[in-house]
Homo-oligomer: A and B are copies of this chain.
Amino acid sequence: MREVAIIGIGQTPVGEHWDRSLRVLAFEALSAAMRDAQLERIDALYVGNMLSGELTGQEHLGALIADFAGLRGIEAMKIEAACSSAAAALRVGYIAVAGGIHDIVACVGVEKMTDQQGSVATSGLATAADAEYEALHGLSFVGINALLMRRYMHEHGYKKEDFANFAINAHRNAVNNPNAMFPYPISAQQFAEAKPIADPINLLDSSPIADGAACVILAPLSMAREFTDKPVRVRAIAVATDTVALHDRRDPLYLEGAAISAQKAYAAANVGPSDIDLFELHDAFTIMSALSLEAAGFARRGRGVALALEDEISVRGRIPITTMGGLKARGHPVGATGLYQVVEVVQQLRGEAGANQVPNAQLGMAQNIGGSGATVVTTILERI
């Protein structure tokens, strides 16, 4: 197996892009990444997307985007793993380059959610849950997370307000991200007064649906310097799964898929949590931040929220998270998010994170979570 590097990154602003269609967004991110790597041609395209069929009546994104980007003919396909679709697409690209099948591969995550009524997007997102045992009974995604948060508060003795700093930290970081959907700070009081959505989850616990696209281009590490002065090494990318339905879990508050995925990635990279300088986690809801920190080994059980309370998650903290705004404030175009996370880790490792730069960032990790933890992709990247 060959070592693999990231040689190019691209992204669109996250937001409500009513003036641009799905293929345009994907093209913008892809062409930005190709410019970044000074490429005119790639060997294959793997598209991460969850809901294009449900929300825009368009499947077949591989061929569609390849053609629209002037790459007609190349190998292309779409990868879907619910909210972890984009990182799953990166995994396929990684396999192709590491295995010597392709040299230059683009992985694009794209989602367009805001053209539809919110209820349509909510129904679409529920397809990440178990259709026959969860969605059938009306359980939405925010409902699932509300169950988790309520149980977590009960088990570990937290109050709703204790989760505030996950959102406050994300919004603080988004201020300096020109691609963020909500680039403004929020206060603890605003959090406390935010509108309830599914008790105990309120509006500021929740990431927004959004439109956007992000792209990462991979190449063998041995070729990387032909394309960039700042290659980033992929130390590991690991996928693990768990039950889709919450009620099938041994312990709903332990994200076993996230734990296995992180452990596989740590083992492949030969590092541990203490070696990681920043962690782009999947803060779809504040409770997911806490559970992800615990499953990935950054906090003991029940102590994920404590990390936020102690402000150890800021850019200067012990384990910086959501350094460019996270799903909460950068925005969560669901099938694109996993590649936004990886693009942001690359910005940090290249030293291009501006005011949000994590000092001396050497090893960065991203964790993209599908559903309530049924598919989890953990990626570890290294500055070289």
Contact = CB atoms under 8 A, between A and B. Distances in A.
A63 B130 CA distance: 10
A77 B75 contact: no
Nearest to A135: B57
B63 A374 contact: yes
A375 B101 contact: no
Q: Which 10 A-B pairs have the closest CB atoms?
A: A99-B99, A63-B374, A58-B131, A59-B127, A75-B239, A60-B82, A63-B241, A78-B80, A77-B81, A77-B88
A147 interface: no
Interface string A72-93: 1111111111100000100110
Interface in A4-63: 21, 23, 44, 50-54, 56-63
A132 B81 contact: no
Contacts of A52: 127
Interface stretch (A150-158, A203-211, A242-250, A340-348): A242-250
A314 to B, nearest CB: 33
Mostly, the A contact residues are: mixed
A59 to B, nearest CB: 4
Interface in A324-383: 370-371, 374-375
Contacts of A100: 1, 99
B370 A241 contact: no
Contacts of A127: 52-53, 57-60
Given A62-B88, A63-B81, 5 more contacts: A1-B101, A44-B239, A62-B80, A63-B241, A67-B244
Given A64-B130, A241-B72, A242-B63, A77 B375 contact: yes
Interface in A238-289: 238-244, 248, 256-257, 260
Chain A interface residue count: which class? 35 or more
Contact of A99 (B78, B98, B132, B239): B98
A375 B62 contact: yes
22 contacts: A1-B101, A23-B132, A50-B59, A53-B54, A57-B123, A57-B126, A57-B127, A59-B82, A61-B80, A63-B82, A63-B244, A67-B242, A67-B243, A73-B240, A73-B256, A73-B260, A77-B79, A77-B239, A78-B79, A78-B81, A79-B79, A92-B95
A293 interface: no
A96 B94 CA distance: 10
Contacts of A135: 57
A224 B238 CA distance: 25
